[in-house]
Amino acid sequence: MAKAAADDLLLCASSFCFLVLFLLGDLSANVNADDEVAPKPAAIFIFGDSTMDVGTNNWLPASRSRADFSPNGIDFPYSVPTGRFSNGLNSADHIARLFGYQRSPQPFLYSLKHQSTFKTAILQGVNFASAGSGIFKQTGKKKFRNVLPLGDQVKQFATVQGNITGLIGPGATDLMFSRSLFVISIGSNDLLDLVELFPNISTSATVAYLDNLKLTYHNHLKDLYNLGARKFGIISVPPIGCCPAARAASNDSSVCVNGLNKLAQAFFQQTQDLLHTLSSELKGMKYSLGNAYEMTMSILEDPLAFGLKDTQSACCGAGPLNGKSPCLFLINPNLCPNRHEFLFWDLFHPTELASELAALTLYGGGTRYVTPINFSQLVAFDD
Ligand SMILES: *[C@@H]1O[C@H](CO)[C@@H](O)[C@H](O)[C@H]1NC(C)=O
Ligand SMILES: *[C@@H]1O[C@H](CO)[C@@H](O)[C@H](O)[C@H]1NC(C)=O
Ligand SMILES: *[C@@H]1O[C@H](CO)[C@@H](O)[C@H](O)[C@H]1NC(C)=O
Ligand SMILES: *[C@@H]1O[C@H](CO)[C@@H](O)[C@H](O)[C@H]1NC(C)=O
């Protein structure tokens, strides 16, 4: 069977594909492929952490933040473990699919190693996301040794900008970038590091950390703008206190860890502020901010409305709620058979189905979940 056909089967042969679209009424308004053909961005450039990584870290020596082993990828075509922290596709793929691509563009580090296809590949877009990374340079380094922070991802994009300019010239590059979608999903690891590395931090020091985080994020986004990015699709931090790892580490796994969730909410506020400021400073900048906190909470409040039966434990892992160990082949983890009924694939990450729900909401959701406009409106926006 052709690879593309196998992909389509993967997503839509299952009866819950229809179920999802049917039930989504509440979360995302009118995603109907027949209604209108989505305008396709010129290219998609993706930045961020494990929510978006499609194999970057496979190429990072000594990184401990990797997923290129089974059972990760069990529902990917041919059950290939690609490096995605998912049973199948992740949010980067689902967003790209909604805009007419087969899946996420390849990781930059992959394309670098495949010189014969490098030029054609980068003209479609590039994925720079690195699992375990953050906005701060040092985030994730203690736990995972080697990750690519957002600042380094932006530097790699500068290289790509140079390469594309070499191919099509500066004017065409500017035009191409102004019509491209820049997706950024990052921040969770900065907040997790704060809690794990500074357990007794004072309130004022926490505020200072968050302020510094906001400023650093501001600078990275401005750098992207200066390289030509105009349409920013930003995804905020989900309720990290509700993931199996956080629940399993706490006294009462039936409730989410409030401290972590408060940080996620504060981060959303700050991101909203910074995007508001930035878009008033930078001519032609447009953005859409996805509120992953609200999206996830609405699923936790009514899982059955989304066809989900288990929103607390990980499908793959070990220990309480399968939330003590990652989905590592080495530890012979538990693996649920009914993956489409789970919100979480492993101790931190959503299942393929949950990431599809998120992507549909970003694409076509209302202002409770994505503001001031949704991703489809962002891409359709004419400059
Ligand atoms: C891309 O740009 C970098 C930095 O200028 C350069 O070293 C590299 O050779 C370029 N790659 C291609 C394929 O043009
Ligand atoms: C944090 O405070 C607790 C008691 O409140 C103490 O037992 C612990 O050693 C402190 N941790 C650090 C890293 O200072
Ligand atoms: C966990 O429970 C014990 C006993 O009830 C309590 O002393 C401790 O403070 C709790 N720890 C946390 C992190 O809530
Ligand atoms: C979001 O996107 C959809 C589909 O493109 C659009 O029809 C809808 O009006 C948007 N929703 C809101 C609340 O803006």
Query: Residues with Cβ < 8 Å from 5, sequence gap 6 or more?
Result: none
Cα(201) to ligand 2 centroid in Å equals: 10
The answer to whether position 100 is within a domain reads: yes
Q: Is the CB of 202 under 6 A from ligand 2?
A: no
Provide the residue type at 292 as one letter: A
pLDDT at residue 89 is higher than 60 = yes
**E runs forming strands in 12-147:** 44-48, 125-127
pTM given for the model: 0.90
Ligand nearest to the CA of 249: 3
153-193 pLDDT, tens digit per residue, is 999 999 999 999 999 999 999 999 999 999 999 999 999 99
The pair of structure tokens assigned to 240 is 């990290």
The answer to whether position 137 is within a domain reads: yes
Strands 44-48 and 181-185: parallel
pLDDT score for 382: 83
pLDDT score for 24: 42
Ligand nearest to the CA of 122: 1
Q: Which pLDDT band holds residue 36 (cuts at 50, 70, 90)?
A: low
Task: Pick the closest to residue 323 from 244, 240, 243, 242 (CA basis).
Answer: 244
Catalytic residues: 50, 346, 349
Q: Of ligand 1's atoms, which has the minimum distance to the CA of residue 118?
A: 13
Ligand nearest to the CA of 98: 4
The answer to whether position 5 is within a domain reads: no
Mutate to test the pocket of ligand 4, among 30, 98, 294 (most ligand atoms within 8 A of CB): 30
Number of helical (H) and strand (E) elements in the chain, helices listed first = 15, 10
Q: Which residue has the tokens 């997790």?
A: 192
Q: Is the CB of 374 under 6 A from ligand 4?
A: yes
Q: Whose CA is nearest to atom 13 of ligand 4?
A: 366
Cα(70) to ligand 3 centroid in Å equals: 36
Provide the residue type at 8 as one letter: D
The pair of structure tokens assigned to 260 is 């972590």
Cα(381) to ligand 4 centroid in Å equals: 12
pLDDT at residue 20 is higher than 80 = no
Q: Is the CB of 120 under 6 A from ligand 4?
A: no
Q: Which pLDDT band holds residue 245 (cuts at 50, 70, 90)?
A: very high
**∠ CA 319-139-354, rounded to 5°:** 50
**C-beta separation of 63 from 144 below 8 A:** yes
Task: Pick the closest to residue 80 from 94, 67, 70 (CA basis).
Answer: 70
CATH number of the domain bearing residue 71: 3.40.50
Cα(255) to ligand 3 centroid in Å equals: 14
pLDDT score for 45: 98
C-alpha 292/C-alpha 213 separation (Å) is 18
The answer to whether position 96 is within a domain reads: yes
Q: Of ligand 1's atoms, which has the minimum distance to the CA of residue 119?
A: 13
The answer to whether position 136 is within a domain reads: yes
The pair of structure tokens assigned to 356 is 């599809």
The pair of structure tokens assigned to 4 is 């593309």
Domain with 77, as residue range(s), is 40-300+364-380
Task: Pick the closest to residue 225 from 299, 170, 279 (CA basis).
Answer: 279
Burial (CB < 10 A; 0-12, 13-18, 19+), residue 55, is buried
pLDDT score for 58: 97
Question: What is the average pLDDT across 3-24?
Answer: 35
Query: Residues with Cβ < 8 Å from 209, sequence gap 6 or more?
Result: 194, 198, 201
Q: Which pLDDT band holds residue 23 (cuts at 50, 70, 90)?
A: very low
How many domains in the chain? 1
Lining ligand 1 with CB less than 6 A are 118, 159, 162-163, 166
The answer to whether position 306 is within a domain reads: no
Cα(360) to ligand 2 centroid in Å equals: 43
Mutate to test the pocket of ligand 2, among 194, 197, 200 (most ligand atoms within 8 A of CB): 200
Q: Is the CB of 377 under 6 A from ligand 4?
A: yes
Q: Is the CB of 200 under 6 A from ligand 2?
A: yes
Cα(320) to ligand 2 centroid in Å equals: 25
pLDDT score for 38: 64
The answer to whether position 274 is within a domain reads: yes
pLDDT score for 94: 98
The answer to whether position 313 is within a domain reads: no
